[in-house]
Structure 1
């Protein structure tokens, strides 16, 4: 009986070692929570301060100077939210990796970054092209869809739960592409509320 228990323990340890070598398991729930909070703040600023109306597909009805100035402000706001979210994710995840006696930057985290990066870069380029053509209303849906696809792909290299978050983002993006006038609301739901819920779930499931 004792020998059988030893075999089971050895198999469990081998499985754990293999999982650590192929998956990045230091993602922090707090990083998701804070990213969601940043997104909600960003959406509020876009709506209340910058008066962003996502159902506008702008042509000659708005002056080019006003259009360009508004878009530049929105892009800067989006970049600020992105930098804060990424910086917070690096901080919390590296701290969690240290607690687990693991390296934050390793072959697995590099694979995770590359696989997330491909759909994000492609989506970013497409969004910039659409913005240059005045199709502002499609920005929110496409950011959700391409981000969701990147999470779905990245789930192979981290928690399987990330796949669910990715699918939620894609579904919200598809719905948003139909109800373009509510694009900012769906963006806030996807990047804000869904991230907060995911972060809380990950924290209680893996970090407590």
Structure 2
């Protein structure tokens, strides 16, 4: 395993440890379930599977590259940029998770929505956790290019897109005008407010 691949792998493992630890603590503190994937049906169930497989493949990618090196090695500058991206993605994803507080959930289920969070990172993205996770996995892909990390990123992107639409529907039903106002001001992924977004 190259040092960029090892570094990105350690960043990914550190993020997952923080993610699971903070999620467990959020559930303990609130007394409310935050792990909702078990209730997923249809498209949401496929999204839940996509998230799991995406992260598993991303974790396996740098390790599998030892036995099955990629046919084309990316330049070291690209690898280093990948490490920087992975670090930024980790910080954004975990920061957004912490900012959600009592609203933190993994998965979607009607009636389980918490308060609408619109401050901090949520002023520039309606989905900063997914945005950060996507940057983290894209960085891992650049630092350790392989079929595994590529497939992991692709599965994550598809799963996030599907779950976001389910979350938007539930948030619109729960928060009504407050959600619509926020959705007009803040883009789904990233940008500045001020005009209608979808």
Q: TM-score range by the shorter chain?
A: 0.3 to 0.5
TM-score, normalization: structure 1? 0.33
TM-score, normalising length: structure 2 = 0.35
- Whose helix proportion is higher, 1 or 2? 1
Higher Cα radius of gyration:
1
